Structure 1
Amino acid sequence: MMNPEIFNQTYTNYWKKLNAFSYTMTQDKDLAQNIVQDVFVDLWERKEELNINAIEPYLFRAVKNQVFKHYQNNRFDKTILEDKFEDYIIDHFSSIDPELMDILYTLLDKLPEKRKEVLLMYKFQDMSIDQIAEELGISKQTVKNQISAALKQLREGLKDLTWLLPYVIFYHNF
């Protein structure tokens, strides 16, 4: 159960992040804001019946579901959306659904060891290309090549899984 203060705090804490996430997927400012607004309206209307353990994954999942529902209803070419979704996943490792995180870790494990190390330093430790090159004793160009190859490999792996997204989104009651 959620009281008005908790709801307001949740709204204040997550509105910008969720709006940015929604916009990344839709590239439409008004649509992105409407989707996030709908998620918060739904959250408020269902406050008595919802039992949410972790609010952040719940909210991101709800926004993602709404975006996909919107495009499903409007017969949109989902490949464009899926490409944006893949880019978002790769750019925002830390705020991803636990289910997708598991898939990402599986894909990361398939990377060659050095490539994985470079990508993790770059994405998780926020190290610059210069810092990584210095730490590993390799050229900056090698670091760039490894990052590029790793991201390409992850994108390919995610593309293989995008057929799952509608099922993950629409047939699970999160």
Structure 2
Amino acid sequence: MKTVNMPSLHTLDGFESIFKDNYTPLFRYVKSIVNDEDLAKDILSDLFLNLWQQKDKLQINELRPYLFRAAKNGALKAISSRYQTAQLPNDAFDIPENTYNPFEKFVAKQSIKIVEELISRLPLHRKEMIELRLLGLKNAEIAQVLDITEKKVEYNMREAIEQLGHAVRNSNLDQATIAGGLMLINLIFTTI
């Protein structure tokens, strides 16, 4: 696989664009690993500073997976004494103000809570893959972040979806409520 220089890294405007496009999902991801907002900010500051300083030396094939992998490595290094698995932050699924009336907001929060609970029951590696997907990464990008093959991501995503489906079918949960929760989660992450 041939790697190419990222020309947009060589200009301040290009770098600023990369920063703006990637900071929020990277912050959520790093914060989910370290469970500390200030530490997450520090890790990302170091990541972007290093990216700028090394811009002439780096050979990056795909920027987004590179950033997520570097962020994960920085986060794990920062908490090397106690490895924690990635979890989405408590406020990841907050519903924007003025979106719904109070009853609709309550129902929406309950739907999201059910979906979060179902996701939390998945094996840790599948849970992390689902969370990365919710952060907007594609299978190939997830594979690069986790340093596994894309086929392994596809397999585990299929298995995770099957596990979630099985959990829904074998519970007395309302499928429409769960579908609504998944839609809301997807909507929240696409508007970030």
TM-score interval (norm. to shorter): 0.5 to 0.7
- Would you say how many aligned residue pairs link Structure 1 and Structure 2? 121
Shift of 1:43: 0.2
Shift of 1:102: 3.4
Corresponding residue for residue 23 of structure 1 = 31
Q: Sequence identity of aligned pairs in percent?
A: 22
Corresponding residue for residue 82 of structure 1 = 85
Call closer, same or farther: CA 1:61–1:139 in 2, change over 3 Å: closer
Q: Which amino acid aligns with 2:129?
A: I
Q: What is the alpha-carbon distance in structure 1 between the residues aligned to residue 155 and residue 21 of structure 2?
A: 31
8 Å CA contact 2:33, 2:76 repeated in 1: no
Q: What is the alpha-carbon distance in structure 1 between the residues aligned to residue 170 and residue 79 of structure 2?
A: 44
Matched, 1:35 2:75: no
Corresponding residue for residue 132 of structure 2 = 92
Matched, 1:45 2:45: no
* TM-score, normalised via structure 1 length: 0.57
For residue 25 of structure 2, give the secondary structure of its aligned residue in structure 1: helix
Q: What is the alpha-carbon distance in structure 1 between the residues aligned to residue 156 and residue 170 of structure 2?
A: 25
Q: Which amino acid aligns with 1:89?
A: M
Shift of 1:140: 7.4
C-alpha offsets along residues 88-145 of structure 1, whole Å, 9 cap, x if unaligned? 3222325224344432323345x49x936948xxxxxxxxx7xxxxxxxx7973787x
* TM-score, normalised via structure 2 length: 0.52
For 1:17-166, what aligned pairs fall within 5 Å after superposition? 17-72=25-80, 75-76=81-82, 78=83, 81-82=84-85, 84=87, 86=125, 87-93=127-133, 94-95=136-137, 96-98=142-144, 99-100=147-148, 101-108=150-157, 111=159, 115=162, 118=165, 141=172
Call closer, same or farther: CA 1:141–1:82 in 2, change over 3 Å: same
8 Å CA contact 1:39, 1:62 repeated in 2: yes
Q: What is the alpha-carbon distance in structure 2 between the residues aligned to residue 143 and residue 10 of structure 1?
A: 41
Q: What is the alpha-carbon distance in structure 2 between the residues aligned to residue 97 and residue 104 of structure 1?
A: 6
5+ residue gaps, structure 2: 1-6, 88-123, 179-192
Call closer, same or farther: CA 1:57–1:43 in 2, change over 3 Å: same
Call closer, same or farther: CA 1:43–1:142 in 2, change over 3 Å: same
For residue 172 of structure 2, give the secondary structure of its aligned residue in structure 1: helix
Q: What is the alpha-carbon distance in structure 1 between the residues aligned to residue 30 and residue 20 of structure 2?
A: 16
Which structure would you say has the larger RCO, counting Cα contacts within 8 Å and 6 or more residues apart? 2
5+ residue gaps, structure 1: 120-128, 130-137, 148-174
Superposition RMSD in Å: 3.3
Matched, 1:11 2:19: yes
